[in-house]
Amino acid sequence: MTPQPIEILFDDDRTQFSPGEELAGQFLVVPGDARSLRAVELSVLWTTEGKGDEDIGVHHFERLDAQDGENDLRRLIAFRTRLPNSPLSYQGAIVKIVWCVRVRAFPLRGDDFFSEERFQLGNVPAAEQPATS
């Protein structure tokens, strides 16, 4: 199976943002073949990684439908949202909080596919790893 390219770009090539700041960028979905897209979804979300249950929080969500072929979704599409005050990105020894922009594409035929681009919200220092003896 050939990879389904989705390109996600942040304005000014930034990947570090402060709480309350605007996150803006564009994405482009180009299926490996000439298939038309039924819809695309854009999410700005955070997840936890590490020990225990993994959590997810969706901060921003948009769905764009092709609307009977009148809206070609294989074009550069802009997005923007004001980021919340929390949770901040965190790289702990036991748990991590990771923010990302996720774009999911739904072709007329075949399986949906997605891509993510991570970014940093806030500037919390990473936890020091315990020393191993």
Looking up residue 37, the CATH number of its domain turns out to be: 2.60.40.10
- Total-model pTM: 0.85
The more confident residue out of 78 and 132 is: 78
29, part of any domain: yes
Asked whether residue 120 carries a pLDDT value surpassing 90, the answer given is: yes
Domain count, the chain: 1
91, part of any domain: no
What separation in angstroms does the CA of 2 have from each of 22, 32, 33, 72, 133? Answer: 34, 7, 9, 22, 45
92, part of any domain: no
**How do residues 8-38 score in pLDDT, each as one tens digit?**
999 999 999 999 999 999 999 987 655 678 8
Amino acid in position 97 = I
Q: List, in order, residues 6 or more apart from 54 with CB less than 8 Å away.
A: 47, 48
**How do residues 60-104 score in pLDDT, each as one tens digit?**
999 999 875 556 787 899 999 999 999 999 998 899 999 999 999
**How do residues 42-53 score in pLDDT, each as one tens digit?**
999 999 999 888
Specify the residue for token string 């050939």. 2
18, part of any domain: yes
